[in-house]
Structure 1
Amino acid sequence: MTGLLADLLIGAAILALAAGTVTARSAFTATAFFIAYGLLLALAWVRLGAVDIALTEAAISAGLSGLLLLGAASRLAACPVAEERAPGPVLKALIGLCCAAVSAAVGYAILSLPEPAPSLAEEAMAHLSVTALGNPVAGVLMSYRALDTLLEAAVVVLAVIGVWSLAPAGGWGGVPGPIHPRIEQGPLALLARLLPPIGIVVAFHILWVGSYAPGGKFQAAAILAAMWLLAWLAGLATPPRISSRRLRLAISAGTGLFLAIGMFGVLAEGAFLAYPPALTKALMLAVEFALAGSIAVALALLVMGPPEPEDRA
């Protein structure tokens, strides 16, 4: 009974925060609601037993995405925006009806699933031993959905290129994002000096245990990116110029290695992203570690934003 009551409270709070996010009048308020919404979603996934999804939700959806939206909100506040006429009651009603129709369609689709719902979980678990990985999520992502994982990594690289392409005149090739003054005192200065060593250890732990327990590259990358961003905000770390070959190599190394291993599968096993049985776990772990580093750098650079002119204050 207590568990049911907790689930009902979490569900009600998620709905309330979702409503607050879409009805907020300011970008900052909407972002704050969104971050809280993501954290509660992570708690809901824990209640459902999906710890891997909960870690990803908390680290990326609520954490880094929230930080990215906060940066965007601050930039929008500093830019003059032309006033636009608010939508009338007819348009608001139409939008509400469309949203209700989509929600009803999704609910109907879920409730119409057969009992038990179709699943490939048993078949996937039956062949998981081939990967030598104890974590079924990692096994599925690196074998059955390897192409999806490769494309997701490539999208992150393309996203960084897209952000850099927004550099203003005189900014291309420079240091990404604004240069923050060095902070010597206060909570941010303390956290920027205290948390990164701990966060790096935690990130590597999550990355390593991801082969046999909840965790993995995306969660570890989010933590590593957050530690770099914390030092950057406190003025303790200046990112390299985007013209740096080492920086560009760090962003693309994970995806490049994944692609190379995929091509190696064509030569060794006759199929793209097919792993030789004797090297399956070693190759998967190599990709996991390489992608963790590349995604961490890319996520941090996405938050920092495009390079700005060299004569900025």
Structure 2
Amino acid sequence: MPIYVYWGEDDFAIEKAVAALRDRVLDPLWTSFNYTTFSSDAGDDGAIAGLNQVMTPPFGAGGRLVWLVNSTLCQHCPDNFLSELSRTLSVIPEDSFLLITSRNKPDERLKATKLLKQFATEFLEFPLIPPWKTDLLVQSVLSAAQVVGVKLTHKAADILAEAVGNDTRLLYNELEKIQIYAYGSVKPQDTDTVAQLVRNTNQTSLKLAAAIRTGDTAKALAILADLINTCEPALRIVATLVGQFRTWLWVKIMMESGERNSQAIAQAAEVSNPKRVYFLQQEVKSLSVQQLIACLPILLELEVSLKQGAVEMLVLQMKIVELCQVCRGN
């Protein structure tokens, strides 16, 4: 069936997948007749209009593409839309394509989700790679380099992965820059080239967490400034800090309870790779359970302040100073 469902937090990867599908389906001369988008702002009426539209045969050459943008039908699907969906999915013409995208994870319990999984040609997730999974970040760099047509040494890929983190859009921008620089060269680009062309703006939120953990206020504030200058969303910074401090807290609690099994600690702390537990244990050696517990209310206050419209830089600086003082034991 010509039905495609893309979801996840990697907006750029979804954009590329949508562009590839659009190029495959549509004839450039007939795009204005056969390409229609319906925003989630239009509500259920817009979604139903999209289903009606996809049943219309394409004009001229190529196929028809109907895109439900940022759809919520896999999170909430009214009965009237569900009945329309059930009636439509199995009879969509072969040269008409229905595309549904969403940032949110589909609710597997919903009948709408089950229907789409049953009929979809592709039902794909585009997740952001967690910043601490450096091996996957390097793998992503190498895969993207192959797509762009750039050869990198493994060390160069390491440096690029550290510089861009899980920002796929930035990764492709930097690779295109390297491609222009290396035009005509068949040699893999080394660390000197990458260091010359790519500014390491990826002062990640994990590095910020590490600076806070050691109580290094000056370093933490400098990393924060870099993050804000590179337009890292404040709430995403806070979400990473909360996740990291919760992980550290669980690891410390398990350590103090006498647990030595890495698998058990990893399970309790929700760490996917038990090999990472050793490094986490080293990181929290200088901190007490009480210090880590005391950090969480500060992070909660920070999140609430940001959501209530506080001045981002000011409140972030204030709370990071507080967190550093707690971790120093002041």
Decide: shared fold, TM above 0.5.
no
Q: Using CA pairs under 8 Å that are at least 6 residues apart, name the structure with larger relative contact order, 1 or 2.
A: 1
Structure with the larger helix share: 1
| TM-score (norm. length: structure 1) | 0.24
Structure with the larger strand share: 2
| TM-score (norm. length: structure 2) | 0.23
